Amino acid sequence: MKLERILQNQGFGSRRQCRQLVELGEVRIGGEIVDNPGAEIATAGLVFEVEGEAWTYREKTYLALYKPSGYECSHEPKHHRGVYSLLPHQLVARNVQSVGRLDVDTTGLLLFSDDGAFIHNLSSPKKHVPKIYRAELAEDGSETLIQRLLAGVDLIDEPLPVPALTARLLAPRTLEMSVDLGKYHVVKRMIAAAGNHVEQLHRSGFGGLSLGEGCLAGLAEGEWVYLEAADLQQLHPAA
């Protein structure tokens, strides 16, 4: 692939902007400046530098972000900062999209990609990909609350009761539960329907990926990492 096309494909600007980067000597491959925008470069395993920063060529990109509170999952946020401001502009230029959304005040694991099929597969209710949440409750939890969530609660926009996949109390007012439904405010609504209320919500896991483990170990709020092939395999733990 031509070098200028590679840069454009990886989010470094328009074809003209990428050509200028090359002609100005801002692109290196193997430590050597490549100043020919039309140079044919093999993309397999390609690592290149742009303005001194190293990048790996990725046909599609997959990311995991530890979302802080106070960020909207929107490219055009209205009342708070946008979660896309936490990502490098090159990735935003590639049109990465979040896999579902987290509320402004919800923290935790949020995935992104520019692979439409990947996003659809993880978002589809037919795939039953579990998401794990930790909820801080307004009142002490109880065994009755757990049993109601596991049995299924009635939600206005759902024809059948919606059950939690798992539910357990970690502390009197700390509930961990998993669901495979990605509807609006679903965890908050389920807990309200079961007789309690959420004061703070955190998503700790998505599929087989969990914050604090594996590739996400040590990830702090506001930080992100690339997901590699082995990490993507974990997203479907039953596969």
Is 103 an active-site residue?
yes
CA distances from 220 to 67, 86, 147, 225 (A): 9, 12, 34, 11
- Gap between the terminal Cα atoms of the chain: 35
Please pick, among 103, 105, 115, 231, the residue that the annotation labels catalytic. 103
Contact 156, 193 (CB under 8 A): no
Pairing of strands 224-226, 209-210: unpaired
Which positions are annotated as active-site residues? Answer: 103
